Amino acid sequence: DVKVTQSSRYLVKRTGEKVFLECVQDMDHENMFWYRQDPGLGLRLIYFSYDVKMKEKGDIPEGYSVSREKKERFSLILESASTNQTSMYLCASSSLLTGGYGYTFGSGTRLTVV
Amino acid sequence: DAKTTQPTSMDCAEGRAANLPCNHSTISGNEYVYWYRQIHSQGPQYIIHGLKNNETNEMASLIITEDRKSSTLILPHATLRDTAVYYCIVRPNSGGYQKVTFGTGTKLQVIP
């Protein structure tokens, strides 16, 4: 069964820590995305990548960076975590050539910054 | 990307059809309508998509108006497990990189 895997389901970090959220997909998809989800605000796009080493800012990139060194892996980095980055983070991937079934999402990482 | 508008919330009695509307008045000719749903604490899952013809699969039906400015997702016999947030988005089916913005969706509550 094809899937998108996020390394942690729950994560608790301290303010000021550098945080890495990892996402791996096994579908050979070109596009990968990071969203955050907060109550009442829906899914908001942080960054996306359409190729290895390529990245584009989404709607709310401030305070985040990303890394895509391999096609299957897309990392979200919080350089200095803050309490307002407490949220649910969702990774997704999609195919460039066959939009088909659209996005495949991971199960999410619930990050709490204390 | 075309913007979509959905009602914030809806209720539906168990066993009845749930009809979830979506407006996408600025949709482009090459953009498909996709529907996803997100059950609590999980990532969104694909339901169905279409361009201009009505579509049906084992989960739902999608009705797209002739002018393509709106669509309706139909869950023919809603169950309690269909309680979720439903997202309607529009995007090209292929070609180029695809930045898509999900809105807040419609929170469907199926009532016993």
DSSP string covering chain B, please? ----B--SEEEEETTSPEEEEEE-TT--TTEEEEEEEE-TTS--EEEEEESSS-EE-SS-EEEE-TTSSEEEEEETT--GGG-EEEEEEEEESSSS---------EEEEEE-
- For residue A48, list chain B residues with Cβ-Cβ distance below 8 A: 97, 99
Q: Is A107 helix (H, G, I), strand (E, B) or coil?
A: coil
Here the tokens at position A77 are: 């980095």
pLDDT digits (tens, 9 = 90+) for B39-52: 987 889 999 999 99
What is the distance between the alpha carbons of residues B95 and B83, in angstroms, rounded to a whole number?
34
A62 with A36: CB under 8 angstroms? Answer: no
Which candidate, B37, B22, B3, places its Cα nearest to that of B110?
A: B37
- For residue B100, list chain A residues with Cβ-Cβ distance below 8 A: 45, 103
pLDDT digits (tens, 9 = 90+) for B74-86: 999 999 999 999 9
Between these two residues, A99 and A42, which has the higher pLDDT value? A42
pLDDT digits (tens, 9 = 90+) for A20-63: 999 999 988 888 999 999 988 888 999 999 889 999 999 899 99
pLDDT digits (tens, 9 = 90+) for B58-72: 999 999 999 999 999
A102 with B34: CB under 8 angstroms? Answer: yes
> Which of B101, B106, B107 is the mutation pick for testing A, counting most A CBs within 10 A?
B101
Which candidate, A25, A38, A36, A42, places its Cα nearest to that of A103?
A: A25
Instruction: Measure in Å the smallest separation between the Cα of A82 and chain B Cα atoms.
Output: 22
CB contact under 8 A, B91 and A102: yes
Residue B94 pLDDT class (50, 70, 90 cuts)? low
Query: Residue B92 has what pLDDT?
Result: 73
CB contact under 8 A, B98 and A41: no
Residue B53 pLDDT class (50, 70, 90 cuts)? confident
pLDDT digits (tens, 9 = 90+) for A61-71: 999 999 999 99
Which candidate, A46, A33, A51, places its Cα nearest to that of A93?
A: A33
Q: Is A44 helix (H, G, I), strand (E, B) or coil?
A: strand
Mean of the per-residue pLDDT values of chain B: 90
- For residue A43, list chain B residues with Cβ-Cβ distance below 8 A: 44, 87, 101-103
Mean of the per-residue pLDDT values of chain A: 91
